[in-house]
Amino acid sequence: MQANGQWTIKDMPNMNGKRVIITGGSGGLGLETAYGFAEKGAEIILAVRNLEKGHQAAGGLLKKFPQASVEVMRLDLADLSSIEGFAARVIAKYASLHVLVNNAGVMIPPFGKTKDGFELQFGSNHLGHFALTGRLLPLLLKTPQSRVVTLSSIAAKSGYIYFNNLDGRIGYSAMKFYGQSKLANLLFARELQKHLSAIGASTISVACHPGVSNTNLISRGSGKQAGRAAAFLWGLMSQSAAMGALPTLYAATAPGLYGGEYIGPTGKGGRKGYPGFDLSVDHKMNEETMAKLWRVSEKLTGVTYDFHVRREEKEDWSKLGIRM
């Protein structure tokens, strides 16, 4: 199950000249992931909802790595118009995108909705990243050997897609809907790879999870620090955010990945440890469910992926564009 022994940032390839977008890069796993990329020379775009926190995070990165290239851009994954605007700015400014890390997420908040009326966890964690990836697809396909890395969770093991209740109108359980959103992340990553393989793209899609890592997700989406008791117990059960970021960095950079893999900690139950291949959710990879989730996601977000493009046509942006 172990991918490459005790793989660490030291094993990452040089990232000079590579451009990386990290959603939710102002703290937790996203920021730790950014530190790993910065150490290896990548050009980093922190896609964050709170610009003040984003600039604070960028300041910390530049303090440790003065030569790093770090840009902060606003992105609210709970707002489809924000996603559209963000993607448009990126495509207008940059000619390539080597890695998109779909990292941001909310965990077990009280019931709430996104700006567009989706249940908050499914809407932010899955639909937001689905729309973002689709809108950045032209840039990703234009960049040879690019990667889309989507973070799931060990909660995906018990997750289920409630197609008859995606908005929570007939009942809501914070933990069940979190599991649903994380399973959706995993199914999306695998279905995306299926489409990429079908057109012979060099872009690949890889899923990963951080195990049980010590981040502020247990603030229940409030953005506030968790209570002392909860934070203490979480600290006992979890590994550091730096260790939790390793599966993401492995998925984003390790040679020899073909797409469709699921990377996570190799310790007992996938909770802690160095990154390796996680096969524990293969039974969740139902082709019918994956295809249905894709169709529903396109309908809800209004973002349709156009995969009827061969790589030799990649310079024709009109053919690579997203139909609306």
**Mind listing the pLDDT tens digit for each residue in 223-249?**
455 555 545 454 556 789 999 999 999
| Residues 252, 255, 260, 261, Cα dihedral to 10° | -80
CA-atom Rg of the chain in angstroms = 18
- E strand or H helix at 57: helix 51-64
Q: What is the mean pLDDT of the chain?
A: 90
305 included as an active-site residue: no
At 214 the pLDDT is 74
At 234 the pLDDT is 46
- Name the residue ranges covered by the structural domains of the chain: 16-314
At 216 the pLDDT is 57
Give 84's pLDDT tier (boundaries 50, 70, 90).
Answer: very high
**Mind listing the pLDDT tens digit for each residue in 13-51?**
999 999 999 999 999 999 999 999 999 999 999 999 999
Give 308's pLDDT tier (boundaries 50, 70, 90).
Answer: low
| Bridge partners (DSSP) listed for residue 276 | 2, 264
Distance of alpha carbon 72 from alpha carbon 61, whole angstroms = 12
Residue 252 in contact with residue 203, Cβ under 8 Å?
Answer: no
| Chain centre distance of CA 318 | 26
| Amino acid residing at 203 | T
Selecting among 35, 178, 250, 305, the annotated active-site residue is 178
In CATH, what class is 16-314? alpha beta
pTM for the model: 0.89
Residue 192 in contact with residue 102, Cβ under 8 Å?
Answer: no
